[in-house]
């Protein structure tokens, strides 16, 4: 039985177009709205929804380890001995729930931009954060803990950590929010 080469080539091209079209559309819809950094997913669309629409949105001023903060294992031990509060293993200097929508949007846009522009080749290894954000929507939560000294950021989604890079761009916006909320601003070296 002879094979019609034109028909066979047409069918191969047709199926290839379907596969390529599916891949492009899938990539577009998966990536649209998410915060990516050099191919790594940092914040999904669902994570952003928690951050942007969560019923709780808290800004923290943290005491870095080199200024007296403690790691998580030490924090658990210290809780029984003192009234210190810890967030993701770092001592909380002050915390404020942010209720103003425009302040939240300004902080999140700065953080998203800082994560998108983060360059892993410029990261150091200190990780001494001065700021943190926490959002909660129902029983889901997203925490963002950046260190602008070493340009690392930890994103915790329901307790699972993702590591990435961040620029210094959000620093001024977060410091301004701390000052506006009459919170202590920890100096960065």
- pLDDT at residue 134 in the model: 98
CA distances from 33 to 6, 43, 182 (A): 42, 9, 32
Flag whether pLDDT at 3 surpasses 80: no
CA-wise closest residue to 38 among 118, 131, 97: 118
Question: What's this model's pTM, rounded to 2 decimal places?
Answer: 0.74
Q: What is the pLDDT of residues 37-85, one digit of tens each?
A: 665 678 889 999 999 999 999 999 998 875 444 444 454 444 445 678 9
Q: Where are the domains of the chain?
A: 1-32, 34-180
Residues 27-31: what's their mean pLDDT?
50
Tokens 């994560």 found at: 115
pLDDT of amino acid 67: 47
pLDDT tens track for 118-176: 988 888 988 999 999 999 999 999 999 999 999 999 999 999 999 999 999 999 999 99
Identify the sign of the CA torsion 9, 12, 15, 18.
negative
CATH class of residue range 34-180:
alpha beta
């Amino acid at each position: 039985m002879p094979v019609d080469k034109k028909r066979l080539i047409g069918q191969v091209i047709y199926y290839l177009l379907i596969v390529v079209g599916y891949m492009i559309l899938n990539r577009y819809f998966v990536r649209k709205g998410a915060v990516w950094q050099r191919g790594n997913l940092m914040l999904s669309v669902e994570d952003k929804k928690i951050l942007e629409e969560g019923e709780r949105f808290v800004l923290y001023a943290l005491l870095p380890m080199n200024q007296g903060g403690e790691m998580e294992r030490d924090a658990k031990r210290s809780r029984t001995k003192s009234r210190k509060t810890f967030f993701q293993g770092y001592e909380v200097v002050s915390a404020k729930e942010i209720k103003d929508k425009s302040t939240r949007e300004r902080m999140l846009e700065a953080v998203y931009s800082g994560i998108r522009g983060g360059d892993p080749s410029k990261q150091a290894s200190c990780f001494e954060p001065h700021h943190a954000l926490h959002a909660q929507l129902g029983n889901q939560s997203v925490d963002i803990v950046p260190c602008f000294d070493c340009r690392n950021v930890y994103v915790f989604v329901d307790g699972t950590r993702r590591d990435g890079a961040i620029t210094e761009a959000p620093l001024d916006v977060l410091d301004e929010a701390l000052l506006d909320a009459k919170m202590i601003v920890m100096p960065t070296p």
